[in-house]
Structure 1
Amino acid sequence: MASQDHTLCLLPLFFIIIISSFHVLPVSPTPSNKLESAIPIRRLNRRGTYIGLVTVIETEEDAFLRSVDFRPDPTHPFLDLSGRRFRIGKIHEKKVVYVRCGRGLVNAAAVTQQMIDVFNVKGIVHFGIAGNINNSMSIGDVSIPKQITNAGLWDWLNPGKTKGGADVVDLDMGNYNIPQGDGNNELGSLRYGKEQLYSVTGHINSPQNVFWINTTQEWLHLAADLEKMELSQCVNASLCLPQKPKLVVGLKAATADIFVDNAAYRKFLYDTFGVSSSDMESSAVAMTCVSNGYPIIVIRGLSDLAGVGGDNTVHKFGSLAATNTVKAVLEFIKKLPPS
């Protein structure tokens, strides 16, 4: 009995130790960097609304930061969040927050949502370089599209699969056999699908199936006058384009996590969807803005004709396309009304 009593006496002490160990566990840990960022974010947002600027790669960022029109904020010139640097400043006396998102749809959507959630922005201007899909456009031209599609949502079908269904269009690989008509192509065909758009204006958990994302009509009207602006023709004194670049408002664009360097595919995209440019981010930025109910405009400079020249053309004229894009961005910001 004595040993049993001793065991019973130890039981309460055992439960006290277990319960107290649960007490010291943090319920909802908060990373210290979030706490450190909270105060400057509050201070920045008290100053009013910002124009959000989202670009993609270093070539575009270099062209933007070289611009004499961008003046960093003297108190808070930047804020580092999630491994990215958000730069705060002014362009034409209008407050802006600028960030480079990195390549691809995921990076673009993540950064755009973060900018909308963290900063007091009134809309997003997304800009960068793109591949040319339209033969009537040229390297160095700038396109401000009215509609953008995600051309990377595919159902890849077996050869001989019945065509039709709810998807938008088919790309049959057999049509591109060399020589033509040389038997069946085991790659089958692709069907292009639609995005599921969740939106503040829609029903909860009931996405709308959309193929085209529209950029903001009011901002497109503001941009219409930019078609008259003068763009740069030369990278340097010895490297110039054969003709003066132009800016066009109201075309269509395609986005996918694919670098398009194939003339046949370029022709298919243009003939089927009527798109004039191809990039890897624009539809993600546009869709995130539309989903949240924020204005969006996309400004893309054409750095190469897809399937002609490849990387060499991008390396030669990428900086010129980026410079012309930034010129258009600065002129558009000038046209925006004050906050």
Structure 2
Amino acid sequence: MYTAKFGGTATAPHNLKYVLSLIDDNMGAVVVSACGRSFDGDEKVTDLLNLFYVTRDEMVWRKIEAKYRRLVEINGINVDIDKLLAEKKRNMCGNDRAYCLSVGEELTAKCVAAATGREYVEAADYICFDEGGRFDYRETKRRVETLANQKFVVGGFYGGKRDGGRATFERGGGDISGAIFAVWTSATLYENYTDVDGVCVANPRCVFCPKVLPRISYGQMRLLGSCGAEVLHPSAVDLPQKAALPVVVKNFWGSCGTTVYNYPCVDDVVSVTCRKTDGLYVTSVLHNLPDMGARAIADIARDVKNCVARCELSRDISKIYASQDLTVETYNAFFQA
């Protein structure tokens, strides 16, 4: 069996039908994120839940209700969503922020379980944290291993504390939940479904139709994640690497995707990423030709010298610190030259 994790875009009301068509008898654990955005500019459920926790504004709660009613209505799911929403609202009023933030994943998982006829598994009963909110590796492993060979749906991103409360991973932590269930239920593959075709050589939001890498190593994936690539949480790589479990990052609309395993991408230049830190944009280039990489980075820095603060050159990854995002300029220098 294999484990599949579906991100928020996949579980949005008009996209859930694709998720339901992908779930088959070979899938053991199905891990889902909170119902995602329906259109550009739409608000994320997790952001709305956080806002409701802070303000207790009824208008905010109505937006959350509308999202889940739409999810159920569009996909013909036989579940009493009004009852679920009322129950969660009551529980949120007496709980902390972590509990409130976890409600999106819980509701989505219950809807997907109802739509597929699968068992719903409560993440708080299997993903364990101590009273201080620190991940409990041993207890989580012991509990999740009892789910081996079972078919179920579970919410990502959160778990339960010893005192009965809830705790969450950081944003994007649903990928970590997926890795946990994949490795400790002895899955043969971890498929991570997102809204891009795989790991690209550059951010597809900045560069038109960038190449998708067919394969990449665990170490390369971790580096890209730490440098700003948002396709897979960097901490979701650790457990699969220790277990030598392949991870496939792919689009839920259908694509071959990128396989993350022990075999590195040996292209001269692997990928260009960017993240903002301490007021500067850090554009990073992962490469396999240190000398050529250093020369190209130096050329880019010279061409846009007015916005470049400094450069860092190393054997496998080079970085430009600047006052603007240099993804396009860097991509053009390496891939369009």
Q: Do they fold alike, i.e. is TM over 0.5? A: no
Larger radius of gyration: 1
Q: Which has the higher contact order (CA 8 A, sep 6+)?
A: 1
